[in-house]
Amino acid sequence: MLAAVTSANLSKLNYRSGSSSHAMQTSTRKMLFAGNAQEIARLNGDAGTFLSRTRIGAETRNKSTLARSMQNAVSYAQTQEAGMRKLESIYNRMTQLASLAADPFVDEGVRAQLNAEFQSLKQDSFDMRKETFMGNFLYDDMAAKYFPVVDFGQAFTDKAVDGQDGLERKNLANPPSGWTGAPEYYQLEKEVHFNSGKFVLDINGGGTGERYILKQGTQIIFDTAGGPDSSDSGNKHDMQWATGGNAYTQDFDRFEIEYAPGQATTFKFVPLTPGNSIYVAGPDETVGTADDPKKSDGAGNWPKNKNGTPSTETVWWEDDVTYDNKDLYVTQLGLGSSDGDESQPWNLGDDRTNHIFSGDVGEVKTFEANGQSTKLTLRVESNTIFQINATYTPLEEATNNKTIEGGSANDVVLDAVGIGITLIDSSIDTADNARNSLGFLAKEIESVAQQLGTIGANLSKLEIATERLSNQVYLSEKGLSRVGEDALIEESTRFARENIKSQATTALLSQAFSVSEKVLQVIL
């Protein structure tokens, strides 16, 4: 009996009791964190598993946040849809009003009342362009289907009269010192409704040339005499963009200028070949009338007929596919000298087709647009004859597409939705204007249908992405939860086992001390 209660045995029992107690405490902590897979791995001292589960947990929380962002995007698209339905209702009412006003027998007083309501509804439709959702614009003008045509070319030649179609013609103060004759400036300002866009400028100034300037509001954004190769040195051709031969009969040069707020203004230079020996004024010898040679189409193609001088028949531009201006525009763009091959638009080895020019480009200079105005001004400073074709169009791509992060290369791009402005100058104050307005409204109603289709496609993309994210979050959380459940079962079992060991050890220690106490009593 005394051997059973030696100090060594007591120490062993005491160690076992402490070990079981520690194991029970560890199991208790692990059971408390059974819902936290990362903490369980940390308590187990498994660094690899801890890092893996931490990463999974972080990804799950991130995807939960992305899922909420997707839901906000759904609300954004639904708000757009509600706006389009409202716009459709406005256009339908405007169509009814225009139909009534198109009747030539309508009393003028009634027509005025109809027009007043029409104008009020039109303003309501334009005000919708400024609406936002959580600080984001709902609509992008550039996503509209139709745009008003803005033409700067009609009646814009040296023959134009001051005040004609809004053109201003005055004497030019402080012209370059070498210019001869009586220099003048010709200036035309137009509202284009957007603070960005594309301006196509076809110019023909002949061998003397002119200075061509494009301004947004009061800010110059393009100047053919603003570059480092252009200066006033007393020469009669200083600060003038020249083309070959006579301005009325020879080739044009084309600048395709693009500008937008916060971006560098750029241009492409497009050499043209039509125009050889064609009299621009047509049979009546007056520029700007119906018998003038036709303009090119959108692709730069020109109708063809015969060469000629003023006659009793209409003449058209002739295309001889010879770049008569090459020796001039290559030099004026700061690209050196022409190689003399006028069958090709550019020098061999230096093809600038579709090249984007910007900033200082030979005699030309571009300036960044400030976006503070939607008006453009085309200005020509000249002391000889010239002719221009110029048009404005909005940029081809919408700028308000929204990218919603979806995680793991599953981002969703919401295509922009736009409200058209072809009705900007519409009115039903006369029967003719009412009929014209009906045509504009038909286009805008068609545009609304297209925009609703875009919104439907956006909502479908969001629905798929949201479901994908929700499934990923569910599976991740389920996996981590399963780890926690397994850990709870394991630690509960371990706790019970260590508890039994602890109780047994405690009982043995108690019995040992009891026996030792009785032995001592006998001895004493």
pLDDT (tens place) for every residue of the chain, 524 residues total: 444 455 565 566 555 555 655 555 665 555 545 555 555 555 555 455 445 545 555 555 555 566 666 788 889 999 999 999 999 999 999 999 999 999 999 999 999 999 999 999 999 999 998 899 988 889 887 788 888 778 887 557 888 889 988 899 999 999 999 999 999 999 999 999 888 899 999 998 989 999 999 999 999 999 999 999 999 999 999 999 999 888 877 788 999 999 988 889 999 999 988 765 555 555 565 555 666 655 545 454 544 444 444 444 444 455 678 899 999 999 999 999 999 999 999 999 999 999 999 999 999 999 999 878 899 999 999 999 898 888 898 886 666 677 766 555 567 788 889 898 889 889 999 999 999 999 999 999 999 999 999 999 998 888 887 777 666 555 555 554 554 555 545 655 665 565 566 566 566 556 655 655 555 555 55
DSSP per-residue letters across 166-178: G-EEEEPSS--TT
Residues 377 and 517 grouped into a single domain: no
- Which H or E run includes 438? helix 431-523
Number of domains the chain contains: 2
Q: What are phi and psi of 75, to 5 degrees?
A: -65, -35
- Whether 310 is covered by a domain: the verdict is no
- Whether 301 is covered by a domain: the verdict is no
Quickly count: other Cβ atoms within 10 Å of residue 404's Cβ: 21
SS3 state at 489: helix
Residues 2 and 82 grouped into a single domain: yes
- Whether 298 is covered by a domain: the verdict is no
Query: Would residue 361 be called left, alpha or beta, if left means φ above 0 and alpha means ψ between -120 and 50 degrees?
Result: beta
* Alpha carbons 61 and 56: distance in angstroms, whole number: 9
pLDDT at res. 440: 93
pLDDT at res. 198: 93
Residues 452 and 432 grouped into a single domain: yes
- Whether 293 is covered by a domain: the verdict is no
Residues with Cβ within 8 Å of residue 131, at least 6 apart in sequence = 83, 137, 138, 139
Domain range for 69 is: 1-146+423-524
pLDDT at res. 30: 52
pLDDT at res. 1: 45
124-to-120, 128, 443, 444 alpha-carbon distances in Å: 6, 7, 18, 14
The C-alpha angle 34, 40, 44, rounded to 5 degrees, equals 140
Nearest to 207 by CA among 339, 340, 384, 388: 384
Q: How many alpha carbons fall within 13 Å on the CB side of residue 10? A: 12
Residues 160 and 29 grouped into a single domain: no
Residues 8 and 122 grouped into a single domain: yes
DSSP per-residue letters across 278-306: B-TTTTTT-TTSTTSPPPP-TTS------
- Whether 222 is covered by a domain: the verdict is yes
- How would you write 101-118 as a 3-class SS string? HCCCCCCHHHHHHHHHHH
- Which H or E run includes 431? helix 431-523
- Whether 45 is covered by a domain: the verdict is yes
pLDDT at res. 314: 43
pLDDT at res. 264: 93
CATH code: domain of residue 89: 1.20.1330.10
* Alpha carbons 262 and 333: distance in angstroms, whole number: 25
- Whether 280 is covered by a domain: the verdict is no
Q: Which residue has the tokens 């008003």?
A: 148
Residues 141 and 154 grouped into a single domain: no
pLDDT at res. 285: 56
* Alpha carbons 253 and 250: distance in angstroms, whole number: 10
Residues 344 and 359 grouped into a single domain: yes
* Pairing of β 266-271 and β 253-259: antiparallel
Residues 438 and 520 grouped into a single domain: yes
Residues 119 and 252 grouped into a single domain: no
pTM of the entire predicted model? 0.63
- Whether 447 is covered by a domain: the verdict is yes
Residues 140 and 154 grouped into a single domain: no
Residues 365 and 440 grouped into a single domain: no
Residues 231 and 244 grouped into a single domain: yes
* Alpha carbons 424 and 374: distance in angstroms, whole number: 13
Six token digits for residue 101: 């006003």
